[in-house]
Every structure is written in structure tokens, then in C-alpha cells.
Structure 1
Amino acid sequence: MVRSASPTAHPSTDAAALLRRLGFAILLFAIPLAALFTRRALVVMAPLAVALIGMAAFLDGSAKTPLQKAIGIATSRAGIAGFVLVLWSALSLIWTPFVPQASERLLNIIAMGLMAVAGYLALPERMRSANLYLLPVGVGLAALIGTVMLLREDGRLEPDGLGVERGMVVLVLLLWPALTWLHSRGRNLEAVALALAVAVGTVLTADPLPLIGLAVGAVAFALTAALPQTGSRLIGFLMAGLLISAPVLPFLLKPVAELAGAGSAAGTLDMWQALVLKEPLRFLTGHGLETAWRGRLFGLLPHAAPFSLLFEIWYELGIVGAMSGAVLLSQAALGAGGHRPILGPGIMASFASAFAFGACGIGTAQVWWFTALVVLVLVFVAVERGQFRTKRPKAILRRLR
């Protein structure tokens, strides 16, 4: 008897699988490596990866109820706070002295937000393990390459004029979802080795910022692992509290800086105090989007003014921007764990590291930073959707009679 040929898969399904595989290869493997060499890698490769994943979802229809999910995001507390923050940023264009530059920055923010939503809606409900294992492989390989590059150049390699520390910042951010995925699959030894590889690279980097972000994230990871509910609430409210109380911080921290003998930090805090006391009413509305950075170039703001998210959001957007940003941070942090407790420590470590980077002076207005945050969110969503089966089913043998 001739056996009938097995039915072949639909061509669109095969094409979708290929596009999705390529998209995740770019998102999880290529981006960590390329970030070591050029800041444009994130800006170019992340939208390309999201586009490929979106095309795959369109071809095979793997995106379930996208409209309901989008409405759920928009009507959540974090979504409403984010909408208020963007709306107030748009209104600040009325009084900012740098309308063209601020408009470009606002459009970049909106574009990154839309890309994040599109990527979230396009991700499949169940992620294949083979795709997610690309993340720790990419982060580990990038950490090894970065370490070799730093050893050869004494920690001061500058592939495009800005330094390799930006690539290490991206690695620190992506380390936490990579560790979370390995831990969820029971590969704790590999997770420790990956953390050590990234830690070596941050220690060798001339700029201390990657090491600061890694240390803060490690503390948050340990705290949330030991006290899941308490740790998450504490970190979420701490980030929101620091953002709200930012104008008071220079007055509280200056005595500490003077006792510690940190002259440069004390000078920055002096300037921060002077700016708060000079125009206290302007902190109600802010000076407008883009004034914190452009103001230094045109003499509207002293060069000694702090490079920090805590200062810049108050200076540019005032109390409305600070309050909406605080609500966005706290609600996103408290609701990020969902029903997967195993993800909690890694998620809170990512929040803590990203907040530490912003508070300690990373260029939060730059497009590559927004893109890195979008990539981080999409990667964690992918890791969460890879948890549908955490162990292999046991084989049940029945006695034959």
C-alpha cells in the first residue's frame, strides 16, 4: 500500500518562522555585540528586529487580540501616567527656547514608545527556548569580546569617539533578562559565569558608570530574591520618591559630600542648590523640553549643572513631569512581575540599574538610550512568554497486563 505524502506546512508559516528567527537573532544576539562598536547599532537594528517580528506575526496570525492588549496598556495606571508625561512634554514646546530640537526629541520619544507597543503586540504568546538562548550567548560573547578590547586598550577604547562604556551599559541592562532566563531553566552555574563575565568588563571600563549600574542592580536582585513583595515595593517607591524629592536632594546631600571630601560632587550640589533657589516658581512648569542640555551650550545653564535624570526632569518639565514620571516608574515596577515570581528579581534589577544610570548622568535624552530601554522591555516580555513550560513532563509507565 502506498502511503500518502505528508502535508507540507503553508509557505506563509515557513516564511513567518524564518522572519521571526531572524528578528530574534538581531534583537537578542546581534545587538549586544554591535553595541560595543557603535552607538548607531541600537538605533538601526532594534527597529529592524521589531519590523521582522511584526511581519512574522502578520503572516501567521500569532498575535492574539492585539486591540484588547493595546487598550489594556493605554488604560493602565502606568499607561495613563506615560500619556500625561508625553502630553506635558508636547505642551512644554510652547515655552521652550529650543523648539526645533525639542520637537525632534519628542518625536523620537513617541516613535520609541510606538515601537515598544508594536513589538509587544507582535511577540508570540509562547516563545521557543531556542530563540531565548540566543540572549545569554550574545551577552556572554559580547562581554568576552569587550573584556579583550579593554585589556588591549587599557580600558579607554573609543571605537566611535564616545567610548566602550556605552556598550557595557547595554550589556549590564541585558544581563538581567539573560540571568533570569538561565535561572528559570535551572542553569544557575551558567548564570553565575555570565554575571562574572559582565562584571569583569565593567571593572575594566575606565568610566565607573557601568559598574555603578551593575552594583545597584545586584543589590536590587538580592533584595527582591530574599523578599519578593517587600523588595519590589521598596524599590518602586524608592525610585518614585527620589524623583519627586529631587529639588530637596542637593540640600540633604551636600553635608554628606563635604564630610566625604568629594569636592567635585559638592560643587555640583552647590550649583544645583543655586538653580533651585534662583527660580523656584519655574519648577512648577519647567523650562521646557531640551533646555537642560541645550541650555549649557548657549549659556542659559552653567556647565557645572548636574547631568542627572533627577535634575533634568524637574528643570525641563517641572512638577507635572516629575509626578507623572514617578507614577509611571512606580506602577511599572510594581506590576512588572505579573504572575511569574521567578522573573521578579531580574525585572527589579533592570529597573534599578536603568534608574541608577539615569540618576548618575547617562545621556537620557539620546535616542540610543530610549532604544536600549525599549529593547530591554521587549526582551523581558519574551522571557516571560517563554515560561509556559519550566520542566519536561514525566513519562508515565503503566504495567501491561
Structure 2
Amino acid sequence: MARPTIQTANPSADAAAVLRRLGFALLFFAVPLASLFSRRALVVMAPLAVVLLVLAAALDGSAKHPREKLMALAISPGGMAGLVLLLWAGLSLLWTPFLPQASERLLNLTGMALMALAGYLAVPERMRSANLYILPIGVGLAALIGIPLAIRGSSRFDPEGLSLERGMITLVLLLWPALAWLHSRGRNLEAIGLALAVAVGALLTRDGLPFYGLAAGALVFVVTASMPVIGSRLTGLAMAGLLLFAPLLPFLLKPLADGILGPKSPVAASLGVWRRIILDEPLRLLTGHGLETAMRGRLFGLLPWSSPSTLLFELWYELGLVGAAAGSILLYQAVVRARGHRATVGPAIMAAFACAYALGCLGIGTTQVWWFTALVVLVLIFVAIERGQFRTTRPKAVLSRKA
């Protein structure tokens, strides 16, 4: 007589499940809500969530083959370009005039990269749907709360409205993985409602930056959804090409800006400053001025206050041709590799790329820690959603007749 199997309790697996649920609740629910009220919420909650995920993976052993995964990332073209970019940023400490501040920034960049790798390895190979449904709930609730805050322009926790602007930018970034998950589950009406709520909040924000980033992402989403292969390649080429050939922009756009906006407009003035910097120091285009010189240079009079506040100018000014070339390769390889994801997730990934890139080009503080943390959170959420696509339809039962 066969004995019935007795299922014994596994305290490690139970503890890991609780820690993992808490970690994803922080990333999916607490981060979009708390970012509307506190500027430090994202920087504090994201590392805590990654720590919880790493502990959960250590308890139940869900992180399989970590060395193989790290080696595959390191030897890929995008991984090598990222390493070159980080090493060149470290080498630029030799000629930067702001060594203490640049060293701190390099340490922050290294910490963000390590946090992203740890979170990538800690995300389980198969995500539970119950954990992933927390994301659209958190983004939707944050959007509903953000709309009246955007109308008033601030909250009692944030009288100046600085946290609200950062919170709306974070919300615009997290919208795309939320839409990808809802669309992959056939909940298109909920996805449309979520997108409308976030769009209204972004439109009502005092600074139009969140709405511009959302519009750029929406445009790329439509193009990539209709032409997956061509759309992703065009997106990668546009982002990489714009970064690589950015020094040509002040010469090409300056006459257009003078004619349309006027020579005394802020845009025309910033383009003029950029052009003078290139003409006065052409050799600096090769090496750059060193890490942290773009922002600190304005404070100490090395750069005019009217110099461009954009990722394109700052990367070239600080790291030169080597940094720009490595960044271009990294961007293109990241976009092309993301093209291989499922059709329900790929367009949203491209839209998130375009949204983040547009925000960086339009003047978001790309050197600040909260921005790097937001990008790490965005990447980890997309990794989780991709690993939740292992089964999108229920298996059908097949009845066979016995002879």
C-alpha cells in the first residue's frame, strides 16, 4: 500500500516569498506613490527593495547561474561599451578640476551599476502574476493622486513642488512597463485608462517636461508596434546617432533657432555658447574636460549659465569623443537586444527608452542620483515583466480515447 506523501514546511522558501513580495511591493507600489511627496523616497526605497530581493534569492536559491549571466553581459558589445564608459569616466578624474565631487559621482555611478546587476540576478526566472499586478495598481493610484496635486502645483509635504515634478517624471517612466504587463494579459481597456490618467497628470504639471517625455515615448510605441524590427532599429540609430554627432547640432540648429525664435532667445543663446566652446577648444572634443565639470563649471564661472542643460552637451563636455562613442554603442546595443523580447513587451521597452532619452535631452538632471536610481528601477521592472511572460494562455485539456 502506497503511503501518502506528506508536504513538510519549508521556512526558507516561505521567508523568501515574503521578502520577495515586500521587495516588489516597494518597487511597484511604494516608489511611484512616495515619489510624489518626497525627493528622497526613490533613492531610499529602491536600494532597500533590491536588498530584499537579494535576500530572498539567497534563501530559496532562485538566482541560478549568476556567473554565466554576468559573463554573458560582460562580453556582449553593450557590456564592453558600458565598461569602457565607466573606465573612461574614472580616468577623467586625472584632469577634472573638481576631483572630490567627481570621485563621489563616480562612486555613485558604480554603486548604481552594482545595484542593477544585483537586482537583475535576484529577479526569479519565473515571476508570479500576483506580484506583477501590483505595478499597474501603484502607477494608477499615483496618477489619480498626482492629478489634483498637479492642479494645485504642490502639497503640504512639498511646498515648492520639486518632489511633484520628479514624481511625475518617475510616473511617466513606470507607465510603460505597467502598460506592457496589462497588454500582455489582454487588459487593454485598463491599459488605456491608465495611460490617460498619467497623461492628464503629466499635462497638468507645471513644467511640461513629463508630458514631452510621454509624447516621445508614445510616438516610438506606435512606430515600434506597427513595425517591430524597423522601429527598434530606427530608435537605436536615432538615439545613438544623435549622441555621437551632437557637436554638429549647434552649427546646424543655430541659424534655424535665430530665424524662428530670435537670436536673443534662450535656445539660440545656449546653442551659441555650445558653438563657441567647440571652436575655442577643439582638442577637448577628444578627451572632454573631466567628470562633473558641466554642472560645477556653471557654479564656478568656467561655463556661462546659458550653456545647454542637456545630456548631449554634458556627456561631450565631460567625457569627449571616447565617452560619446562608448555611450552610443551602449545605447544601440541595448535597444537592439531589447528587440528580441515578446511582441507584447517590445514596443513598451522601446517607448521607455525614447521617453528616458527625451527627458535627458530636454534638460532633466541626468547627473543626479535620483535619475540613475529611476533608470535602475525601470530596468529591473522590465526584467521582472519579461520573466512573467513564460505562459500567456492557459493550456488546453486534450482527451484521448483508449483503444
- Compared with structure 1, are the counterparts of its residues 252 and 156 closer, same or farther at alpha carbon in structure 2 (3 Å cutoff)? farther
Task: Give the drift of 1:237.
Answer: 0.6
Query: 1:155·1:206 contact (CA, 8 Å) conserved in 2?
Result: no
Q: Deviations over 1:150-187 (max 9, x none)?
A: 22348999456624111111011111010001000000
The amino acid of 1:386's aligned partner reads G
DSSP-derived class of the 2:162 partner: coil
The amino acid of 2:181's aligned partner reads W
Match of 2:376 in 1: 374
- Compared with structure 1, are the counterparts of its residues 81 and 338 closer, same or farther at alpha carbon in structure 2 (3 Å cutoff)? same
Q: Deviations over 1:93-146 (max 9, x none)?
A: 000000000000000000000000000001100000000011111011001101
Query: 1:156·1:164 contact (CA, 8 Å) conserved in 2?
Result: no
The correspondence of residues 293-312 of structure 1 with structure 2, limited to 5 A, is 293-312=295-314
The correspondence of residues 170-249 of structure 1 with structure 2, limited to 5 A, is 170-249=170-249
Match of 2:14 in 1: 14
- Compared with structure 1, are the counterparts of its residues 154 and 15 closer, same or farther at alpha carbon in structure 2 (3 Å cutoff)? closer
TM-score, normalising length from structure 2?
A: 0.96
User: Please, which moves more after superposition, 169-178 or 158-167?
Assistant: 158-167
Aligned: 1:325 with 2:327: yes
Task: Give the drift of 1:343.
Answer: 1.5
Match of 1:165 in 2: 165
- Compared with structure 1, are the counterparts of its residues 144 and 85 closer, same or farther at alpha carbon in structure 2 (3 Å cutoff)? same
Task: Give the drift of 1:9.
Answer: 2.5
Distance between the aligned counterparts of 2:153 and 2:277, measured in 1? 40
Aligned: 1:93 with 2:85: no
Distance between the aligned counterparts of 2:70 and 2:116, measured in 1? 11
Match of 1:282 in 2: 284
User: Please, which moves more after superposition, 30-39 or 96-105?
Assistant: 30-39
The amino acid of 2:289's aligned partner reads H
Match of 1:43 in 2: 43
The correspondence of residues 268-279 of structure 1 with structure 2, limited to 5 A, is 268-279=270-281
DSSP-derived class of the 1:341 partner: coil
Query: 2:39·2:163 contact (CA, 8 Å) conserved in 1?
Result: no
**Percent identity between the two aligned chains:** 66
Q: CA RMSD in A?
A: 1.9
- Compared with structure 1, are the counterparts of its residues 76 and 319 closer, same or farther at alpha carbon in structure 2 (3 Å cutoff)? same
Distance between the aligned counterparts of 1:89 and 1:372, measured in 2? 21
Aligned: 1:347 with 2:354: no
DSSP-derived class of the 2:345 partner: helix
Query: 1:36·1:167 contact (CA, 8 Å) conserved in 2?
Result: yes
Question: Unaligned stretches of 5+ in structure 2?
Answer: none
Task: Give the drift of 1:278.
Answer: 1.3
Task: Give the drift of 1:392.
Answer: 1.4
- Compared with structure 1, are the counterparts of its residues 377 and 217 closer, same or farther at alpha carbon in structure 2 (3 Å cutoff)? same
Distance between the aligned counterparts of 1:146 and 1:286, measured in 2? 40
Match of 2:386 in 1: 384
Query: 2:35·2:166 contact (CA, 8 Å) conserved in 1?
Result: yes
Question: Unaligned stretches of 5+ in structure 1?
Answer: none
Query: 1:283·1:315 contact (CA, 8 Å) conserved in 2?
Result: yes
Task: Give the drift of 1:395.
Answer: 3.3
User: Please, which moves more after superposition, 152-161 or 128-137?
Assistant: 152-161
TM-score, normalising length from structure 1?
A: 0.96
Q: Deviations over 1:62-93 (max 9, x none)?
A: 11101100111111111100000000000000
Query: 1:38·1:160 contact (CA, 8 Å) conserved in 2?
Result: no
User: Please, which moves more after superposition, 160-169 or 36-45?
Assistant: 160-169
The amino acid of 1:114's aligned partner reads L
Match of 1:58 in 2: 58
Distance between the aligned counterparts of 1:199 and 1:33, measured in 2? 16
Distance between the aligned counterparts of 1:222 and 1:233, measured in 2? 14
- Compared with structure 1, are the counterparts of its residues 362 and 184 closer, same or farther at alpha carbon in structure 2 (3 Å cutoff)? same
| Number of residues of Structure 1 aligned to a counterpart in Structure 2 | 400
Q: Deviations over 1:19-40 (max 9, x none)?
A: 0000000011110111111121
Distance between the aligned counterparts of 2:102 and 2:160, measured in 1? 25
